[in-house]
Structure 1
Amino acid sequence: MMSLGTNGYASPAARKMGYDVAEGVDIRGRYDEEFARILTKDALRFVAELQREFRNHVKYAMECRKEAKMRYNAGALPGFDPATRCVREGDWTCAAVPPAVADRRVEITGPVERKMIINALNSGAKVFMADFEDALSPSWENLMRGQVNLKDAVDGTISFRDQARNRVYKLNNQIAKLFVRPRGWHLPEAHMFIDGEPAIGCLVDFGLYFYHNYAAFCRNQGAGFGPFFYLPKMEHSREARIWNNVFEKAEKMAGIENGSIRATVLIETLPAVFQMDEILYELRDHSVGLNCGRWDYIFSYVKTFQAHPDRLLPDRVQVGMTQQFMRSYSDLLIRTCHRRGVHAMGGMAAQIPIRDDPAANEVALELVKKDKLREVRAGHDGTWAAHPGLIPAIMEVFNSNMGNAPNQIQTMKREDAANLTEEDLLQRPRGVRTMEGLRLNTRVGIQYVAAWLTGTGSVPLYNLMEDAATAEISRVQNWQWLKYGVVLDGDGLGVKVSLDLFGRVVEEEMARIEREIGREKFNKGMYKEASKIFTRQCTTPMLDDFLTLDAYNNIVIHHPKGSSRL
């Protein structure tokens, strides 16, 4: 075992050895004393056990995704599975929502950065979802420091000194409930190899967090007290079954009751909307609901129908919840969740306060309130905000419509959604496609990728908080318009989207970015590299599944002498 100094950190002699790894584990990320608190031999052994038991199941699930993609590209449409009709029509419910998280009317999300964690837990929201996924650039530093930060947060010892402001941030007495979102099944962790192959990213995120923190949640001596999770990017209930088996293995290892772990699944892919009952059924002992991950859902609509030229999206700003396919998705999610006794969570308000323009800020806030009023009246039990400044206004909307009830599970059954058809869920979106839409997609996409490459996964741009999901919409929409030579409406009337046009747009938008942020910042940033990546992604003959998979190798830095090997 690694020898420890009196403060719990590795001694100088141990540091020369690197991390004290479990058998079959090879850590290729940089050694750091703080990271060594997380990457203990026993914790790594637990992660390795998860990888060994479930990697073939995950590989099979990813192959099933590829097969489904081939069917859709050949003209098939996603739909309800006749083989699981008995599950959809069955009279069953999930485990009761535990009192600890019965009230989730406003949730805030953000990356696992130290100051962000403190501010979000202190924000007045009911829940903070700490994100290892779309809001985080998965560098080794970000991931491991995030684990350190979360452990300190769970322990209640987390603090942050802002040198520039000469201010110390600490937790209040009353804080939000902590949920953690690991990465999706498709993402590898290239800084950790297990038995010679990259680890599955989400099992690293889940395994390290659970191993170090489950005891703090389970001091209440009962099921349903956590840890709590959000599960992203699923396309089929077989993927939920893997998560359920992971949870059961973790609970057994820890000696805690079945159902102690609870999770909310993001319904953010088009295939998953036809699998909501099945997903809840697989996780029924561990579920606390589903969430409308609407930005990824829009991205998934384009990706699913990439070979269908009759499914072209209008400008992304026009694809809101008033579109029939989006409204149907929300209504069916509410009905499904409430029928099964769990939360139906609404989507993200991506707006951020406009501090230098009070009038514009008021207009934006009214739009947020209108969207949240629609959600609560439709039956959602809670919703997401990207910025603490939105929480009071959103909380007021939900409080005035829900009163003292912690949720709407019993009062808003949405039986009218029982008649929603596959056609409703696949309705073609309406709207126009404009030159400004093409320009905005390009400008946002390049700036997001530039930030992501330098370690920032959540970026304020043009009064909205952009993350990987919104960047994906920009990318796939550009790709779709180029692929099918869209003729633009409005200010681009009669102009066909071509490679030549797109090349000029990229050049002009790069010049605009430079003007907006300043030449010095532009030259110091990764904008030129980001432009190459984003342009390649928009012009590739076959659409890549995920922008971040293509860009990931740009942030992988191996330190082969950083770990001891057994």
Structure 2
Amino acid sequence: MNTLLAEPGTLTTSPIRTQQPTGPRIEVTGRMHDRFDEILTPEALAFLADLHQRFAGRRHDRLADRMRRRFEIGNGRDPKFRDDTASIRSDATWRVAGAGPGLEDRRVEITGPTDRKMTINALNSGAKVWLADQEDATSPTWANVLGGQISLFDAIRRQIDFTSPEGKAYTLTTGDMPTIVMRPRGWHLVEKHLTFIDSSGAAMAASGSLTDFGLYFFHNAQALIDSGRGPYFYLAKLESSEEARLWDDVFSFSEQHAGIAHGTIRATVLIETLPAAFEMEEILYELRDHCAGLNAGRWDYIFSIIKNYRGRGARFVLPDRSDVTMTVPFMRAYTELLVKTCHKRGAHAIGGMSAFIPNRRDPEVTARAIEKVSADKKREAGDGFDGTWVAHPDLIDAARAEFDAILGDRPNQVDRQRDDVEVTAAQLLDVHVGRAVTDAGLRDNVSIGVRYLESWLRGIGAAAIDNLMEDAATAEISRSQIWQWIHQDVRTDDGAPITRDRVERILSDLLSTVERFDGDRFDDAADVFREVALKEEFPTFLTVGAYSRFLVDLA
């Protein structure tokens, strides 16, 4: 078996284990496909080894902190605004670095995975920014992880094209591409096709975060700067300011390594976990030299509420997912606090993604999607957000119109202070929605969860299901709600209890009626769904076990 090994400045290609270099290094155990060697160069692997040697241990410490915090919340200790960082919040003098070149106007950002077709469509979309997503919208197959890096490498150099199996050609058609903001995987995820061997000889799977960030930065930072933009990132799943500090140190080291000015990197942090909502200012502070803003990651935020309070009793049970809108009390408090916090510190506040998507074959569905998205974006722009996300090019005009109505010719409204907003810890935790769980809501959760997992197992991380754009975050809501409803003895509005047996019957009905096709993964998806929704233990993330079981492709 050939393996690629690297320590700073070295690469050995050899089937002989005794010829491995000593010292910290990265071992490539995934299969090598076309052009992978252009990304996994000796120098890039050496940079990854440096990143892991310096930061892998701190990453594990931060993940241990997450476990401790979840345990405390589960045992009755609610999160609160931290006493030990009160001086940061009370100091009115500090500001974040703010927008880098090409990020001043973010009124509409399109999100999507980094396969070649979606990359070209995003860059041709007319959006101001493209969130190039290696996280929730990407199924982390080895082909997708490295293929996404190749797509980005080519796109930044304007040398990307693609021909579909049906013969349709895709090329760049616009002279002014959106600014690319890449989202690496969260701290909790690993890359099992790369092994980090530390200075003691201990081996561990590489960090997905450091892998995605490191390869993209190493190959593209200077090219992005030369194009008048810069290496920009979305940071997912953060739960504390200490995790933000870790990212800031990664950025500072990387800038020094590349010989570029401190603060060239810009990051936008998704506030998509409950603990992070209580540390927005601290997160901005720790990243202040590299920070452009915060984003309201609504779907993961709902999932985080359910995950942290799943065992805390009936008062923390949410109704059907469709009834947990952005206007319910806890979501309203969270978004208003985010806008106020951002503008207080000179940061962009970026709105989240409405799940409604158009259907070009069904004008009625498209009209409904545009109506829903327009209302969502009108609310965000009116509340003070500086920009927003959409998941489909056909929604850009509707979203832009709502922000144009508020912004006019201004690039943003960061100067709009929300001094009228005062949000308490109790308001952030006010999850009373006042609606019931229905049989239809239960069936929708089973259907969405299984169908999304089936898509994910085939390597498709963003899937249009029932005219909604589903990704890992929305699937997490579906499966975690079912787990919570079972364990909290919830009944649907017709009085019937939600039990494992009832969910199994719904699952069997789904598998017997869903349209099957050659190569589908519905049986595997049902097995994964049972593991994450129906077992006694609650897996922290649905993708972790499924990744190890189904997506690892070793040489």
TM range (shorter): over 0.9
CA contact (8 A) 2:385 2:413 kept: yes
Alpha-carbon distance between aligned partners in 2 of 1:39 and 1:481, rounded to the nearest angstrom:
45
Q: Which residue of 1 aligns with 2:51?
A: 50
Counterpart position of 1:208: 215
Choose from 243, 260, 264 the match for 1:260: 264
* DSSP 3-state at the match of 2:109: strand
From 383, 388, 395, the equivalent of 1:383 is: 388
Matched, 1:149 2:151: yes
State the one-letter code of the partner of 1:338. Answer: H
Seq. identity, %: 43
Counterparts in 2 of 1:529 and 1:96: CA distance versus 1, 3 Å: closer
CA drift at 1:365: 1.2
Contact 1:106–1:395 (Cα < 8 Å) also in 2: yes
Note if 1:406 corresponds to 2:408.
no
* Residues 533-552 of structure 1: pairs in structure 2 closer than 5 A: 533-552=528-547
Structure ranking higher on relative contact order (CA contacts 8 Å, 6+ apart): 1
- Secondary structure at 2:195's aligned position in 1? strand
Aligned to 1:10: none
Structure 1's unaligned 5+ residue stretches are 3-12, 561-566
Report the equivalent of 1:421: 424
Matched, 1:432 2:432: no
Partner residue, 1:362 = 367
**Residue correspondences, number:** 534
The one-character-per-residue Cα deviations of 1:224-260 (angstroms, maximum 9, x if unpaired) are: x420000000000000000000000000001110110
Which secondary structure does the structure 1 equivalent of 2:61 belong to? helix
Distance 2:16 2:293 in 1: 45
Q: After superposition, where does 1:143-182 map in structure 2 within 5 Å?
A: 143-182=145-184
CA distance in 2, matches of 1:124, 1:71: 46
1:529 to partner: Cα distance:
1.0
Hey, what does 2:200 align to over in structure 1? none
* Partner residue in 1 for 2:453: 449
Amino acid across the alignment from 2:477: I
User: How many angstroms does 1:165 deviate by?
Assistant: 4.2
Partner residue, 1:481: 485
- Secondary structure of 1:471's counterpart equals helix
CA shift for structure 1 position 97: 2.5
1:333 aligned to which of 329, 338, 355:
338
Residue correspondence of structure 1 range 289-308 to structure 2 within 5 A: 289-308=293-312
| Deviation per residue, 1:255-280 (Å, 9 max, x gap) | 11011000100000011000000000
Conserved 8 A contact 1:109-1:129: yes
Q: For structure 1, which segment, 32-41 or 242-251, has the greater mean C-alpha deviation from structure 2 after superposition?
A: 32-41
Structure 1, residues 328-365: CA drift from partner, whole Å, max 9, x if none?
10000000000000100001022221233323321221
The one-letter amino acid of 2:401's match is: E
Deviation at 1:76, TM superposition (A): 1.0
Give the drift of 1:114: 0.5
Mapped to 1, the partners of 2:71 and 2:476 lie a distance apart of 20
- Which digits, 9 at most, give the CA deviation of each residue in 1:261-315, with x for residues without a partner? 0010000001100000000000001000000000000000000112211200110
1:72/1:307 contact within 8 Å kept = no
Confirm whether residue 526 of structure 1 aligns to residue 526 of structure 2: no
Bigger shift: residues 500-509 or 102-111: 500-509
Question: What's the C-alpha RMSD, in Å, of the aligned pairs?
Answer: 1.9
Answer with 96-105 or 530-539: which moved more: 96-105
1:499 aligns with 2:503: no
TM-superposed deviation, 1:17: 10
| Gap runs ≥5 in structure 2 | 3-11, 198-202
Residue 103 (structure 1) aligned with residue 108 (structure 2): no
Q: In 2, distance between residues paired with 1:308 and 1:336?
A: 29
The Cα offsets for residues 164-196 of structure 1, whole Å up to 9 and x where unpaired, read as 144242242111000100000000110100102
Instruction: For 1:21-100, list aligned pairs within 5 A.
Output: 24-91=25-92, 92-100=94-102
Alpha-carbon displacement from aligned partner over 1:130-156 (angstroms, at most 9, x marks no partner): 111000010111101111110001111
Cα distance in 1 for residues equivalent to 2:502 and 2:260: 60
Q: What secondary structure is seen at the aligned counterpart in 1 of 2:102?
A: helix
Name the TM-score, length of structure 2 as normaliser: 0.93
Alpha carbons 2:109, 2:388 under 8 Å: kept? yes
Aligned to 1:125, what secondary structure does the other structure show? coil
Residue 112 of structure 1 contacts residue 131 of structure 1 at CA under 8 Å; is this kept in 2? yes
Q: Does the 8 Å CA contact 2:106/2:128 hold for their aligned counterparts? A: yes
Matched residue SS, 2:351: strand
Judge conservation of contact 2:24–2:53 (CA < 8 Å) in 1.
Answer: no
Is residue 537–residue 543 contact of structure 1 (8 Å, CA) maintained in 2? yes
Rounded Cα–Cα distance in structure 2 between residues aligned with 1:498 and 1:49: 49
CA distance in 1, matches of 2:188, 2:448: 24
**Separation of aligned partners in 1, 2:365 and 2:510:** 24
- Are the counterparts in 2 of residues 319 and 429 from structure 1 also a CA contact under 8 Å? no
Match of 2:196 in 1: 194
